[in-house]
A = this chain, B = another copy of it.
């Protein structure tokens, strides 16, 4: 293991996109913060969102230890969040997709606890956290939904712990693919056919495996007829069996 992925280059993309923010017209509304808000409250939220910001593929939205002042809602694109341990090795904590919030790990802290890098050209909404806190006090529904999103974050991480502590490599990869599909499906995309936005190395890093192990396992899934793979394009051909493997049934074909 100990995959020392080179730390991203020190290019910072700060080009704001000054389009007036309008949650009501945003396709991500039903996953993002405004969920279940009254129209007038959605507008109050619009007003505190500073701007949209484009992030080029490979650049940092924020880095570990950056001062924390805002959280981010992904409009389109994908991100990874990662920590860097004392030895300079990267550990990926998660992959984020449109409608998900970035920066939650820093709430209640002065600084970001991990960094976020765009896996492709992406766009986020910047939400100043102090202003959001003000709104949370005023709009109970917003507070509730904000807490729901935080709770999901905690649950996601606990599931990752479960995976890392108890699952065999086979299971980890199967779970990874299954979950990715489920999250995409919830957003209206195909569940069993999608593009991996990250390298094998990053998959392995996230799953606590080496690149080689991930590659080998994907190959085995392919040879067993579970998966069709063309580079980063993946199709789960046998979702039932894939879910069995995710649940712990051994693939000994």
Contacts and interface: CB of A to CB of B under 8 A. Distances in A.
A138 B114 CA distance: 31
Q: SS class of chain A's interface: helix, strand, loop or mixed?
A: helix
A155 B109 contact: yes
A205 interface: yes
Interface of A: 1-2, 83, 85-87, 89, 91, 93, 104-109, 113-114, 133-134, 136-138, 140, 143-145, 147-155, 157-162, 164-166, 205-208, 247-248
Nearest to A205: B165
State the copy count for this chain.
2
A108 B164 contact: no
B113 A208 contact: no
A162 B1 CA distance: 12
A166 B89 contact: yes
Given A143-B133, A148-B108, A160 B162 contact: no
Contact of A137 (B105, B114, B137, B155): B137
Given A104-B154, A150-B108, A133 B140 contact: yes
